[in-house]
Structure 1
């Protein structure tokens, strides 16, 4: 009885194990079939992440779901192609690029832009920045930007350059005068002047002026004037002069330091002087003899046009008037020292010494023989004034054209 019971229990245990194994095998079979069926539903796609490509199979329904399955978090500015809502299809190529923020420095202003581009020109296009011909960009437009690298733009502006008096307009991005001169390859010589400070700020419309200074040595020969020496001559009538020795100019060599600014001379400094030839002084004898005239009689002089002219002598016509020793402003003494108030009947005429020399003996038509012994402020050129003893005689004479002869 006991033996039979033990056998029954054994068979029951063995059957239970068989059932369990069968159940496990069935479950495993179902799992394998399910996995095969699941894998059969996956699609093959190409995923490009920041320029690195990967081939993979996915059961994701959309591009967004695929990226999420790959633990890729898509930010607002990232590039996803095709879009995240695109359904997954067999053989689909998917591209994702992570955007980065780029800082663009434009003169003193800063602009930030999110982009997936790396080429400088493409980044500027994304930032909607237009460059002019003379603007400067660092790095260059064709360069690829590294991480954390910024783009620097210097906008060009017009500057007026006045160099040696010549003016022109130049586009520049320089911030200081010194940098501007360096960029334009402008050299300053030793004596040149820069109107602005070298560290001065350059702004749009600035005027940079250079004065070109030149120092040269100039050697010239110049004439020197002679001195005029006068000496008294008692043999000459007062008012007359006689050249004893003609003057002759000398010559001197002078050495100058000449400073020119923009080609124009602004200063001349004498460095040395050398006499090449001494001048010869001019000696002039000046008459000191006082003329003493005696009246031929004490009767008044009668002016008549009937006096006959002497032969010989220089002859010409002049305008004649008459005066007395008692005219307004008259002293009664002539320029040659004759006292007409003491000798009212003397025949004396006032002349222009450049036409009729003082002291000359003359003959005047209608007046007779006389001495050129006086001058007058109004007696210029071919004009004479005849001395007569009375005012009435002067008035009667009036103004006439008369013939004059210089006898001696």
Structure 2
């Protein structure tokens, strides 16, 4: 035991005298080296999206610092100063991380990466020359966020005519309906718009709002009275007498009137309301034959031809009261204008005395009450109401019988 103790003592002495001092020296040198290492680090302040982070580094460049701190810098990020810049003491570095924004500009969609702080800066980055009338959504002062949706629509001028006013307005609308809604232009049930509401618009579009309304218009009108003729044997042939004066009637006509911008464009009669009935004018027409004065110069033959019951074959044509050069008043004073259906014939008085009652084949009983420049000898001209009937009559041979 004594021998063993004597062998150990030298070892403990060795540790105390040699090993421990060496270890202490190494530790001291390490501490000094660490202290020197730490004190030689550069102090760098990095602003990451506006938040400051201060680090101590031996990195040579900004890129080395980013790798040292395990910060992943993407291609669209903004680092100032650049990644190749050497690190210096008390250096300030700005690192703005890029955000993805989905942009729709005038209908065209694309995705962009940006370090802009707000929409206004991004619009500037995109080289969009905007004006105050353009639509930018969200607004210019809105902060950029990742995966934001940005809409830009360029405004253009449109001419609007509505309610009597014409104005030029800026808009970003795509259709007529959208434009009117944005401009707070309301439409009535009957109103119409040109172009149609669903039509697309551009800077060459002129929009017209046409105000349509339907109103009822009541118009009072007079109704002309008719004229009725009645035969009167007490009146001489060719004479007339008013038995009853005619009076006009009155009616109210109800119209549906369509107005466009205050102007009438159509009118439709809905109903007629009688206020007062008209009264016919009644005229008595004489049928009593006038006395025939036979000239003393007439031959016995002429006198016998005018006697009652005599039958002749004559050439007959037809005429109306409105014929060229006609006045409508016969040679015996009969007013054919007021008696369109009266049976009257024009004769040569030397053959058939004026005022005679006659019967004409195919025409009926009539009064020989008129003459004519072309009516000579065995010719007559029968009176008919219309030119069409005169044409249908034409020229024909007929038998005529003198009744009295």
TM-score (norm 1): 0.65
- Residue 285 of structure 1 deviates from its aligned partner by 3.0
Q: For 1:350-369, list aligned pairs within 5 A.
A: none
Per the alignment, residue 32 of structure 1 pairs with 31
**Native 8 Å contact 1:334 1:340 kept in 2:** no
**Native 8 Å contact 1:158 1:172 kept in 2:** yes
Moved more, 214-223 or 167-176: 167-176
d(CA) in 2 for partners of 1:129 and 1:387? 100
**Native 8 Å contact 2:100 2:146 kept in 1:** no
**Native 8 Å contact 1:165 1:211 kept in 2:** no
Per the alignment, residue 114 of structure 2 pairs with 115
Per the alignment, residue 52 of structure 1 pairs with 51
d(CA) in 2 for partners of 1:11 and 1:297? 206
Q: Secondary structure at the match of 1:222?
A: strand
> Does the alignment pair 1:228 with 2:227?
yes
**Native 8 Å contact 1:295 1:343 kept in 2:** no
Return closer, same or farther for 1:342/1:289 CA change in 2, 3 Å cut-off: same
TM-score (norm 2): 0.66
Q: Secondary structure at the match of 2:46?
A: strand
Per the alignment, residue 153 of structure 1 pairs with 152
- Matched length: 328
**What's the C-alpha RMSD, in Å, of the aligned pairs?**
4.2
- Residue 297 of structure 1 deviates from its aligned partner by 0.3
Return closer, same or farther for 1:74/1:297 CA change in 2, 3 Å cut-off: same
Return closer, same or farther for 1:243/1:8 CA change in 2, 3 Å cut-off: same
Q: Secondary structure at the match of 1:44?
A: strand
Per the alignment, residue 366 of structure 1 pairs with none
Q: For 1:15-164, list aligned pairs within 5 A.
A: 15-156=14-155
**Native 8 Å contact 1:345 1:388 kept in 2:** no
Per the alignment, residue 250 of structure 1 pairs with 249
Q: Secondary structure at the match of 2:139?
A: coil
d(CA) in 2 for partners of 1:42 and 1:280? 127
d(CA) in 1 for partners of 2:349 and 2:106? 100
**Native 8 Å contact 1:294 1:343 kept in 2:** no
d(CA) in 2 for partners of 1:152 and 1:223? 69
Q: Secondary structure at the match of 2:65?
A: helix
**Native 8 Å contact 1:344 1:388 kept in 2:** no
Return closer, same or farther for 1:269/1:162 CA change in 2, 3 Å cut-off: farther
d(CA) in 2 for partners of 1:298 and 1:73? 146
d(CA) in 2 for partners of 1:166 and 1:294? 87
Per the alignment, residue 11 of structure 1 pairs with 10
Q: For 1:203-352, list aligned pairs within 5 A.
A: 203-204=201-202, 210-234=209-233, 238-239=237-238, 241-263=240-262, 264-271=264-271, 273-275=273-275, 277-291=276-290, 292-298=292-298, 339-340=347-348, 342-343=350-351
Per the alignment, residue 200 of structure 2 pairs with 202
- Residue 221 of structure 1 deviates from its aligned partner by 2.4
**Native 8 Å contact 2:176 2:201 kept in 1:** no
For each residue in 1:38-95, what CA deviation from the matched residue of structure 2 results, as whole angstroms up to 9, or x when unmatched? Answer: 2232222211112110223222222222222111122211010111122222222111
Return closer, same or farther for 1:247/1:5 CA change in 2, 3 Å cut-off: closer
d(CA) in 2 for partners of 1:232 and 1:99? 114
* Structure 1, unpaired ranges of 5+: 300-325, 347-372, 377-384, 390-408
d(CA) in 1 for partners of 2:269 and 2:259? 12
d(CA) in 1 for partners of 2:318 and 2:77? 119
Q: Secondary structure at the match of 1:150?
A: strand
Q: For 1:164-175, list aligned pairs within 5 A.
A: 171-175=170-174
